[in-house]
Structure 1
Amino acid sequence: MSASTLSPAPAPTGAAAASRGPSLLRRLAATPEAGVILACVVAFIVFAVAAPTYSSTPNMQVMGRDLAQFGILAIGESFVILTGGIDLSVGGLAGLSGILVGWFSVTHGIPAPLAILLTLLICAGIGYWHGSMVNRLNVPPFVITLVTFTICKGLALSITGGTPITNLSNIFGDLSLYYVGPVPIPAIIFVGVAVAAWFALERTYIGRQIYAVGGNLEAARLAGIPVARRRTTAYVTSSVLSGVVGMLIIGRLGVADPSIAGTGYELTAIAAAVVGGVSLFGGEGRIVGIAAGAILLELISQGLLSLNVNTYYLTVAQGVVLGVAILADRLRAKFFGTGRS
């Protein structure tokens, strides 16, 4: 073997070395997770400097509880969006599930664990119904989930007569208000759900098929992927996670209040998913980005509260962040070849 064969390759110089920098920047710019994670870091530093109480332990614990509610909803919502659909029912269903579990356990005396299981089964049935309507009758997801949202809000008021259900089992407060060390239990639940969702989407055949369905529905069908089953799986996942969030909400409030639980949560869930890099056209997005998107929205919301900004502007801020995220998604699709134009 000749000496020239053994000598190391020369380090890139000149134009070759200069080209590596733009290439790295291009890859980072084309990765939505990198941008939202950087935004989280910047937002935390800015608000921590501007408001001394922002980074205090009690405030961080409050953010952990809020993040669990919005983050779990966003993860469920992302499953549906990845298939090319949308679920507008998550907020209403979260509110109804809190009412149902309180109604079963308090009004009808069903043991709390059984009431929880029964409520989650009902939520799963609602998700299955969404999938059936979309798959068998080709009902637009926007329409069928909006119908469910309206029904859920009406049922929550009808069941309770507008009066909150009190004397809830301690199990709900234990799940929502207690800690493991300094970390709220809801935050731990959120991490567990995120890890499970990451494994399901990125390490299983079912997860890969969900991406394929959203990426190209007809190609997925021709490849033998059970399209209807995968879309139904996504809607069931979203509905069940909405039920989990409803139980966390009533545990935190101490009552099952139909006028409060889940109100407006669907906007935050969709915003967190899209901010985290999930394409509204389906087929693109990762759990890391979705979790970061939920964290970013929570950092901004709590930051504005810490600065004593009027609460009416919080929804405005969410809308602005969502608009910027959608614009960034389209710009990535146009200039970096990611997403679908």
Structure 2
Amino acid sequence: MSTETVPVPLKGDPDAPRGPRPLRRLVETPEVGVVAACVAVFVALTLARGTFASAVNLQGMGFDLAQYGLIAIGESLVILTGGIDLSVGALLGTSVILMSWFNVRAGLPAGVAVLATLLVAGLVGLVHGLAVTRLKMPPFVVTLVTYTVAQGVTLAVTSGTSIVGISGFFGDLGQSYLAQIPVPLVLFAVVAVLAWFFLERTYAGRQVYAVGGNPEAARLAGVRGDRRVVSMYVTSSLLSAFAGMLVLGRMGVGSASGVGVGWELSAIAAAVIGGVSLTGGQGRIMGIVAGTILLELINNGLTTLQINSDYTNIVLGCVLGLAITADRLRARHLAKRIH
């Protein structure tokens, strides 16, 4: 009885049989579901109302996407560390008022007003990070305090009135186009790429995942977890202020009338829909961007279809509930596979 040696194809061998690995890898990509949902919703809304895909409407969505996307990225960076930031929306609204006040009431040039506001926002983020890491205060409580204080500061500075006469710099930045693409959308894309590079291609970014996934293991491995947590809270606050600058440019006045109210829910929803785990340590920028796009498609679609705006929050709440449920089911599935 003779035996034959069956040659085993080497990895990379062009003659090796090709299985369904690329397709399987695509299907198993965490973001494939939300990307597919974006395509489906876009096609459905375009078929339902032809004006939805018009250049004017797409450009309008680009402006909105930049505002929500920036705070969604900041929120996601905090969630990756296992925390939460409920102040992103309120801090955005306060930043709009501070930039207006610095520019008009204090007479500072637009650039200096922006830098002063970014400094204030950065200090707020620093306080958040130190309170969470040094005082071991729950992130929910810390940022909820800022949420309340920021709304109070906004009303106190303006006394319920709008600040007019802001520099044209803000309008040029918040309402301009680059090759028919809104400048705020371009800025959002740049921030998204930088965030992707940080998380996916740097040692510090991998430490953020490690701290959020298993803080104790990260500590034993020599990772300075507190430093990473603080830096993410600071980044989140800075991105809120940066988004506030774009909002001010679109509005043209410093108004406290509901700006940023409830936006933290949209930021959290975009993060969770995009695959960011609320327990930390899991999620990618691609998914966050896709989650933000999906929410913007839904919001704009409801407006385009002339559905009562009162139902927007209902839809957002339902989407957020489904996303959180999916996140919990995904976490349980992963836990079963590990054990």
Alignment TM class, shorter chain as reference: over 0.9
The 2-side partners of 1:89 and 1:191 are apart by 23
CA drift of 1:336 comes to 5.2
Residue among 54, 63, 76 paired with 2:74: 76
In the TM superposition, structure 1's runs of 4+ consecutive aligned residues that sit over 4 Å from their partners are 2-12, 27-30, 336-341
Stretch moving more, 212-221 or 252-261: 252-261
Contact 2:76 2:276 in 1 (8 A): yes
Take 1:334 and 1:153, find their aligned partners in 2: how far apart are those partners? 37
Partner residue of 1:251 out of 246, 249, 252: 249
SS in 2 for 1:53: helix
Match of 1:154 in 2: 152
Does the CA-based 8 Å contact 2:278-2:327 persist in structure 1? no
Whole-angstrom distance in 1 between the partners of 2:146 and 2:326: 31
Q: What is the letter of the counterpart of residue 61 of structure 1?
A: Q
For structure 1, which runs of at least 5 residues remain unmatched after alignment? none
Structure 1 position 174, deviation (Å) = 0.8
CA distance in 2, matches of 1:130, 1:330: 26
Structure 2 partner of 1:185: 183
What CA deviation, in whole Å up to 9, does each residue of 1:35-54 have, x standing for no partner?
Answer: 00010000100000001110
Q: How does 1:158-169 map to 2 (within 5 A)?
A: 158-169=156-167
Q: Give CA deviations for 1:100-139 in whole Å, capped at 9, x if unaligned.
A: 0110010010111011011101111100000010011101
Q: Count matched residues.
A: 332
Q: Distance in 2 between matches of 1:100 and 1:335?
A: 46
Amino acid at match of 1:323: G
Work out the CA distance in 2 between the residues paired with 1:331 and 1:244: 35
- After superposition, residues 325-340 of structure 1 pair within 5 angstroms as 325-335=323-333
Which of 213, 216, 221 is 1:215 aligned to? 213
The alignment status of 1:100 with 2:117, answered yes or no, reads no
- The 2-side partners of 1:195 and 1:95 are apart by 25
Deviations 1:259-299 (A, max 9, x none): 22211111101100111000000000000000000000001
Match of 1:280 among 278, 284, 288: 278
Q: Partner letter of residue 35 of structure 2?
A: I
For the residue of structure 2 that corresponds to 1:65, the secondary structure is helix
Cα distance in 1 for residues equivalent to 2:101 and 2:191: 26
CA distance in 2, matches of 1:340, 1:289: 23
* Aligned counterparts of 1:121 and 1:339: Cα–Cα separation in 2: 45
Answer yes or no: is 1:297 the counterpart of 2:308: no
- 1:35 maps to 33
In 1: Cα distance, 2:52 partner to 2:244 partner: 27
Percent sequence identity over aligned pairs: 54
> Cα deviations across residues 49-79 of structure 1 (Å, max 9, x unaligned)?
0011100000001100000000000000001
**Aligned mates of 2:152, 2:332 — CA distance in 1:** 43
C-alpha root-mean-square deviation of aligned residues, in Å?
A: 2.3
Superimposed CA distance per residue, residues 3-37 of structure 1 (whole angstroms, 9 cap, x where no aligned partner): 9759987858xxxx7xx58x955x55653311000
In structure 2, the residue matched to 1:51 is 49
Structure 2: gaps of 5 or more residues: none
Query: Contact 1:75 / 1:287 at 8 angstroms: preserved in 2?
Result: yes
* Letter of the 2:287 counterpart: G
SS at match of 2:111: helix
Counterpart of 1:32, as a letter, is P
Q: Which of residues 198, 201, 204 in structure 2 aligns to 1:203? A: 201
Please tell me the residue identity of whatever aligns with 2:141.
V
Q: Which residue does 2:268 correspond to in 1? A: 270
Query: Cα deviations across residues 197-256 of structure 1 (Å, max 9, x unaligned)?
Result: 001111111111011000001111111111110000000000000001111111111111
Closer, same or farther: CA 268–289 of 1 in aligned 2, 3 Å: same
Change (3 A) 1:6 1:326: closer
Q: Which of 129, 132, 135 does residue 130 from structure 2 map onto?
A: 132
The 2-side partners of 1:91 and 1:266 are apart by 5
Aligned residue in 1 for 2:110: 112
Q: Residue 172 of structure 2 aligns to a residue in which SS?
A: helix
- The 3-state SS of whatever aligns with 1:54 is helix
For 2:143, the equivalent position in structure 1 comes to 145
The one-letter code matched in structure 1 to 2:276 is: V
Mapped to 1, the partners of 2:231 and 2:271 lie a distance apart of 18
What TM-score comes out, normalization by structure 1 length?
0.92
Secondary structure in structure 2 of the residue aligned to 1:42 = helix
Whether contact under 8 Å (1:281, 1:340) holds in the other structure is no
